[in-house]
Amino acid sequence: MKTGRSDRDFVASVLARAGSPRVEGEWSPGDLVELAQAYLRLEDRLGKIIAIGDKYQAEALEASGRLRDALERLAEYEDRIAPARDGSGGDRGGVPEGEGDLAPRRAEDPLLVRIEAALEGGESPSPEDLRFLLRRYAKMNGRLEKIVRISDGYQGQLREASLRMDYMARTDSLTGLSNRRDMVERLDREFSRFGRYGAIFSLILFDLDDFKQINDRHGHDVGDQALRTVAYVFGKELRKTDVCSRWGGEEFLIVCPETGPAEAFLVGEKCRRAIGACSMHSREGELRVTVSGGVCGAEPGLGIDELVKRADDALYRAKDSGKDAIVSWPLP
C-alpha cells in the first residue's frame, strides 16, 4: 500500500490521529493495516542500522587499538633513544630479548605496516603517517557517532510506535474507553488480588436503553454520538480508581476496586442519573438517552464469566422492570 509519504511521516500522522480516538472517522482499519506494515518496515530498518552501527563500532575500536599500540611503541622508542640524544650514551643492549620487537601485527594495513617498520628500524614514523592515522581515527569516530545518532532516532520511533500501537490495541476507537481485551486483563488482575489478599471489588454492567430504535430512527451517526456521550459521562462521574470499558455494542462494563456491591450500586446510580440528565441534538430535535445497569460483587469460587453473568442477569432484570434503573445481585 503506497502513499507517497515516508514511513516516518505516515506513522507520525496516523499516530497523532490515533491519539484523539473520540473524533469519529479520524483513522480507519485501513490506516491500522498500513501502520502495521510501516511498523514492520521500521523494525527491519532498525535491525539493519544496528548491524551497521555494530560494524562501525568494531572498526572504531580496532582503529583505536591500533593507534594506542602505535603510540605506545613510539613512546617506547623515544625512551630508548633519549639517552643518545642528550649525550648520556646508552644503546639498545639493555633492552631484554624480545621486548620492543615490532613485527607487524596486521600486515593487511599498509599504514600500520609503515609505522611499525619505521619503529623496528629505530626511526620515528613520519609525521605524515601519524597525522594520517589520527585523521582516519577521527573520521571513524565521526562515522560511529553519526550511526549511533541514527540508531537512537530509529529506536525512539520504534518505541513510540510500539506504545501507540499498544494503546490502540487496548482502546475502543469510538469512545476512547478501554476495550474488552483490556478489561479482561484488568479483571484477571482484580481476581488475582481478590484470591491472594481478599481485596474485594464489584462490577457494574450498563446497557443503553432502546439503542436499536435510536439507530433506526435517527441514524448510526446519532447512535455513535450517544455512545460517546455516555462514555464521556462515565469518565466524568466515576471515581479515579474505577475503570470503564466498552464491553461490546452498547454495553459498558465498569470494575470498582476495593468496593462492595452496596457502594458500587451508589456509584452506578450516580452515573445513571447523570446520563439521564444529558440531552443530545438530532435532526428531529432534542434526544435523551437512558441506561439500565446490573451490579454484583466478587465472591470466593466465582470466575470472571460467572461474575459477568450475574451482572448481566441483574441488568436484564432492570430492563424488565421498566428500564432506566439499576438492579443489584442477588436478584429481588
Q: How far apart are CA 316 and CA 265, in angstroms?
A: 15
Q: What is the mean pLDDT of residues 114-143?
A: 71
Span 180-328: which CATH code?
A: 3.30.70.270
Query: If we measure between CA atoms, which residue out of 126, 66, 77, 130 comes closest to residue 101?
Result: 77
pLDDT-based confidence at residue 98 (cuts at 50, 70, 90): very low
CB atoms within 10 A of CB 107: 10
Q: How far apart are CA 325 and CA 332, in angstroms?
A: 13
Of residues 291 and 166, which shows the higher confidence score?
A: 291
For the chain, what are the domain ranges?
Answer: 1-170, 180-328
pLDDT-based confidence at residue 258 (cuts at 50, 70, 90): very high
Q: How far apart are CA 89 and CA 95, in angstroms?
A: 14
- Residues 266-288: tens digit of each pLDDT: 999 999 999 999 988 878 778 89
Q: How far apart are CA 227 and CA 207, in angstroms?
A: 10
Q: According to the model, what pLDDT value does residue 214 have?
A: 93
Q: What is the mean pLDDT of residues 167-177?
A: 91
CA angle 212, 225, 176 (to 5 degrees): 110
Q: Is the pLDDT of residue 231 over 50?
A: yes
Q: What is the mean pLDDT of residues 196-224?
A: 94
Write out the catalytic residue numbers. 250
Q: Is the pLDDT of residue 17 over 90?
A: no
CB atoms within 10 A of CB 274: 15
Q: How far apart are CA 265 and CA 272, in angstroms?
A: 10
Q: What are phi and psi of 203, to 5 degrees?
A: -120, 145
- Mean of pLDDT over the chain: 77
Look at the pTM and tell me if it is higher than 0.75.
no
- What proportion of the chain, given as a percentage, has pLDDT over 90? 44
Would you state the cell numbers that stand for residue 287, as one nine-digit string? 434526544
Q: According to the model, what pLDDT value does residue 97 have?
A: 43
Contact 51, 150 (CB under 8 A): no
Contact 246, 235 (CB under 8 A): no
